[in-house]
Chains A and B, each alone.
Chain A
Amino acid sequence: MSDASAEILLFQVGVNVFAAPVRDVVRIGTVRGRAAEELVTDSALGRPFSRARGIVVAASGAERTLVVDQVVGFRTVPFVDVQPLPAFAAVCIRSGALAGVVLLDEVPTPFIDLPVLLSERAALGNLAPP
């Protein structure tokens, strides 16, 4: 990410597309053969239709894998297109993982703080804390 642009990862959970900073991603890969307790399949983003891909994120001192349906790709977007949530939405949203929105072709896409997302999930007991 530079002052003028941001590197983002686009991924899909269910029918919804989300964006996240590339810097938060340790690696991306298949989830086949991974132990179920290492995987986060249910989060504030919903449940994936299939357990196709995993986004590995460092969260709360451990690596956790968010299971997604599809990794759509990477984009470089002007930093001005990464915007905070509107004030009213910000006070109404239950999850701190929604950091804002990214405007992609003028359509807002939820911008996710992956470490916070997975830490929240761990706190709810889906995944045992490290």
Chain B
Amino acid sequence: MSDKKAAFGQRLDAGPRGQEAWFFSLRILGGRYAFEAALVTEVVRLGPLTRLPSAPPFLTGVFTHRGEVMPVLDIAQLTGQGTVPVRPSTRAAIVHCGPWKVAVVSDGVEGLIAIPRRALEPAPAEASGMAEFLSGVAQDPLGAVAILDLPRLVEAARARAVPAGSAAA
């Protein structure tokens, strides 16, 4: 077993014992992407979006949700796949990744999906685009779904941004 596959298996084994693993699935630019369901706190329809000056392209803007200002993360933009169009009907999943709370914008929300653990496969060994942040792939009745390592992706976004105050646009 490769190191990557072993690590993937260990990570899944760390969760609740059972025959299925639960993920939260979004549609992004025609693809199905899922991540650990426990990261998601709620799904919201984006309110009016305010763009922030000097923000990196993947930080689409901010909006208010129940009085809280939420940053919107476009993971397609971050990984060079394109830009998720924001419309009045656009929905986002609010996720907690370590210290960060962000709204992940999507084309559509599928919601919770259960994947039999035996159906989970390690991600292909590619190191570019979205594939860089996959922890696995799987098939469910709706088709193929890519499993994202969302905490790693959010941390990569933070690391790619220039620290505050170091430059102006």
Contacts and interface: CB of A to CB of B under 8 A. Distances in A.
Interface stretch (B33-41, B83-91, B117-125, B153-161): B153-161
A34 interface: no
A30 interface: no
B164 A90 contact: yes
B166 A89 contact: no
A57 interface: no
Contacts of B102: 86, 88
B15 interface: no
Contacts of B169: 43-44, 46, 94-95
B165 A86 contact: no
A87 interface: yes
Interface in B73-106: 73, 99-102
Contacts of A92: 55-56, 59, 71, 157-158, 161
A88 B51 contact: no
Interface in B48-69: 48, 50-56, 59, 62-64, 67, 69
A94 B64 contact: no
Contacts of A90: 164
B15 to A, nearest CB: 25
Interface string A38-55: 000001111000000000
Interface residues of B, number: 34
A101 B164 contact: no
Interface in A107-127: 107-110, 112, 117, 120-121, 123-124
A101 B99 contact: no
A108 B56 contact: no
Contact of B54 (A91, A94, A101): A94
Nearest to A109: B50
Contacts of B50: 101, 107-110
A94 to B, nearest CB: 4
Contacts of B114: none
A91 B163 contact: yes
A96 interface: yes
The 4 closest A-B pairs by CB, nearest first: A96-B165, A92-B161, A95-B54, A94-B54
Given A92-B158, A103-B69, 14 more contacts: A86-B69, A88-B59, A88-B154, A89-B59, A89-B71, A93-B52, A93-B55, A94-B54, A94-B167, A98-B54, A106-B47, A110-B52, A117-B168, A120-B168
Interface of A: 16, 18, 43-46, 83, 85-98, 101, 103, 106-110, 112, 117, 120-121, 123-124
Interface of B: 47-48, 50-56, 59, 62-64, 67, 69-71, 73, 99-102, 154, 157-158, 161-169
